[in-house]
Amino acid sequence: MDLTEKRITKEELDLIISLRRELHNCPEPSLQETKTKMLLMNFIREHTTKLQLVDRGDWFYCLKRGADSGEAVAFRADYDAVLCGDGVPRHLCGHDGHSAVLAGFALLLDRMQTDRDCYLIFQPAEEIGMGAKLCASLIKEGKIGEIYGFHNIPGYDCGEVLLRTHTFACASTGLEIKLTGKQSHAAYPDQGNNPAGAIAEIIQKMHALVAENHKGIVLGTVIGIDLGGDSYGVSAGEGTLRLTLRAEYQDEYEAFVSGMETFSRTLVADAGLQCSITRIEEFPATTNDSSCVEKVKKAVEGLHLEALYPEEPLRWSEDFGHYLMLTRGAYFGVGCGRNHPALHTVEYEFEDSIMETVIRVYSELL
Q: Which pLDDT score is estimated for 67?
A: 87
Please tell me the distance from the alpha carbon of residue 224 to that of residue 13, in angstroms, as a whole number. 44
Per-residue model confidence as pLDDT tens for the chain (366 residues): 444 567 899 999 999 999 999 999 999 999 999 999 999 999 999 999 999 999 999 999 999 999 887 899 999 999 999 999 999 999 999 999 999 999 999 999 999 999 999 999 999 999 999 999 999 999 999 999 999 999 999 999 999 999 999 999 999 999 999 999 999 999 999 999 999 999 999 999 999 999 999 999 999 999 999 999 999 999 999 999 999 999 999 999 999 999 999 999 999 999 999 999 999 999 999 999 999 999 999 999 999 999 999 999 999 999 999 999 999 999 999 999 999 999 999 999 999 999 999 999 999 999
Q: Which pLDDT score is estimated for 6?
A: 74
Query: How would you label 177-211 residue by residue, b for 16+ Cβ within 10 Å and e otherwise?
Result: bbbbbebbeeeeeeebbbbbebbeebeebbeebbe
Q: Which pLDDT score is estimated for 119?
A: 98
157 CA to centre of own chain = 22
Please tell me the distance from the alpha carbon of residue 97 to that of residue 152, in angstroms, as a whole number. 8
Q: Which pLDDT score is estimated for 82?
A: 97
Q: Which pLDDT score is estimated for 4?
A: 52
The full 3-state SS of the chain, as one line of letters, equals CCHHHHCCCHHHHHHHHHHHHHHHCCCCCCCCCHHHHHHHHHHHHHHCCCCEEEECCCCEEEEECCCCCCCEEEEEEECCCEECCCCCEECCCCHHHHHHHHHHHHHHHHHCCCCCCEEEEEECCCCCCCHHHHHCHHHHHCCEEEEEEEEEECCCCCCCEECCCEEEECEEEEEEEEEECECEECCCHHHCECCHHHHHHHHHHHHHHHHCCCCCCEEEEEEEEEECCCCCCEECCEEEEEEEEEECCHHHHHHHHHHHHHHHHHHHHHCCCEEEEEEEEEECCEEECHHHHHHHHHHHHHCCCCEECCCCCECCCCCCHHHHCCCEEEEEEEECCCCCCCCCCCCCCCCHHHHHHHHHHHHHCC
Closest alpha carbon to 116 in 74, 54, 56: 74
- Residues contacting residue 113 through CB under 8 Å, at least 6 positions apart: 1, 5, 67
Amino acid in the structure at residue 271: A
Please tell me the distance from the alpha carbon of residue 127 to that of residue 2, in angstroms, as a whole number. 39
Q: Which pLDDT score is estimated for 10?
A: 95
CB 80 within 8 A of CB 95: yes
Query: How would you label 309-318 residue by residue, b for 16+ Cβ within 10 Å and e otherwise?
Result: eeeebbeebb
